[in-house]
């Protein structure tokens, strides 16, 4: 019995231990990311960083055609922001988590397909996000196909910044009448000029996946959510919301008014 109590105490202590990826590690990651450069390979292939160099979704405005043999040094915080990720249509986020775990374990990463303007083809986006989660460069191949569209309801902050009205939203993303649990995949993000630190997202997702609902709430708290002018619900948290999407779990939340 004493051993059982000791084990429970150790598990509780581990669950409440400080999470890595505080301010300084994130700053170091972003500094190293900004120093990444693409490299030409044989057969028209290019090695590059999935977040630094590739556009993940459509933009509010059409991206210019790009005839350069190498992808651009993107302003990735704005072009691959948390708002773009939240608005990416048709992404299987739990597949992203499976891919990330496999690649971290040594599984081969397939060549990813991109369009002529270095926007990721739809069939490659989950691989690209998974590689961002493990901070792994990818080999890209330019060609045809279609990219991932933005869900304009969840992209409302991007549209607002561009002076465009977003479609009205009537759907309720909450899982309970008290509005304390929300479907993370139904939330917009107000962070339209900041990208998540994807290795931090992966770490949060793996911690979340190992906890029950009460322990997740204790560990990560309630994410503030608010209603936007178009009726969509949005959060300002980049990492907790993205992590909950990766592991397919409901997110503890609290409704706040716009400040």
If we measure between CA atoms, which residue out of 127, 55, 117 comes closest to residue 85?
55
Instruction: Look at the alpha carbons of 153, 154, 160, 162 in this order and tell me if their dihedral is positive or negative.
Output: negative
User: What is residue 138's predicted lDDT score, i.e. its pLDDT?
Assistant: 98
Q: What is the pLDDT of residues 40-96, one digit of tens each?
A: 999 999 999 999 999 999 998 766 667 789 999 999 999 999 999 999 999 999 999
Q: What is the pLDDT of residues 104-142, one digit of tens each?
A: 999 999 999 999 999 999 999 999 999 999 999 999 999
Element holding 112 (H helix, E strand): strand 112-114
User: What is residue 63's predicted lDDT score, i.e. its pLDDT?
Assistant: 65
If we measure between CA atoms, which residue out of 212, 230, 219, 198 comes closest to residue 93?
198
Do β-strands 223-227 and 233-235 pair in parallel, antiparallel, or remain unpaired? antiparallel
Task: Give the end-to-end CA distance of the chain in Å, rounded to a whole number.
Answer: 51
Is the pLDDT assigned to residue 13 strictly greater than 80? no
Q: What is the pLDDT of residues 197-242, one digit of tens each?
A: 999 999 999 999 999 999 999 999 999 999 999 999 999 999 999 9
The pTM assigned to this predicted structure is 0.90
Question: Distance between CA 206 and CA 209 in Å, rounded?
Answer: 5
Question: Distance between CA 147 and CA 122 in Å, rounded?
Answer: 5
Is the pLDDT assigned to residue 1 strictly greater than 70? no
Phi, psi of 199 (to 5 degrees): -60, -35
Element holding 189 (H helix, E strand): strand 188-189
Domains of the chain, start order: 36-142 (no CATH), 159-255 (3.90.1530)
């Amino acid at each position: 019995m004493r051993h059982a109590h000791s084990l429970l105490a150790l598990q509780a202590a581990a669950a409440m231990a400080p999470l890595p990826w505080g301010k300084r590690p994130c700053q170091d990651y972003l500094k190293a990311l900004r120093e990444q450069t693409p490299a030409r390979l044989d057969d028209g292939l290019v090695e590059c960083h999935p977040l630094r160099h590739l556009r993940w979704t459509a933009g509010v405005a059409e991206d210019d055609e790009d005839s350069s043999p190498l992808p651009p040094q993107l302003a990735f915080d704005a072009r691959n922001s948390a708002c773009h990720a939240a608005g990416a249509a048709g992404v299987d986020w739990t597949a992203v988590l499976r891919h990330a775990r496999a690649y971290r374990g040594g599984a081969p990463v397939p060549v990813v397909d991109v369009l002529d303007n270095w926007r990721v083809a739809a069939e490659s986006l989950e691989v690209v996000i998974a590689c961002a989660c493990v901070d792994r460069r990818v080999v890209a191949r330019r060609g045809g196909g279609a990219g991932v569209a933005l869900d304009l309801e969840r992209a409302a902050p991007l549209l607002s910044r561009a002076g465009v009205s977003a479609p009205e939203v009537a759907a309720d993303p909450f899982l309970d009448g008290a509005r304390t649990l929300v479907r993370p995949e139904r939330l917009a993000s107000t962070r339209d000029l900041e990208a998540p630190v994807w290795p931090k997202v992966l770490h949060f997702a793996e911690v979340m996946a190992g906890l029950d609902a009460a322990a997740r709430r204790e560990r990560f708290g309630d994410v503030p959510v608010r209603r936007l002018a178009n009726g969509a619900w949005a959060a300002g948290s980049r990492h907790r919301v993205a992590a909950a999407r990766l592991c397919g779990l409901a997110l503890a939340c609290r409704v706040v008014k716009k400040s």
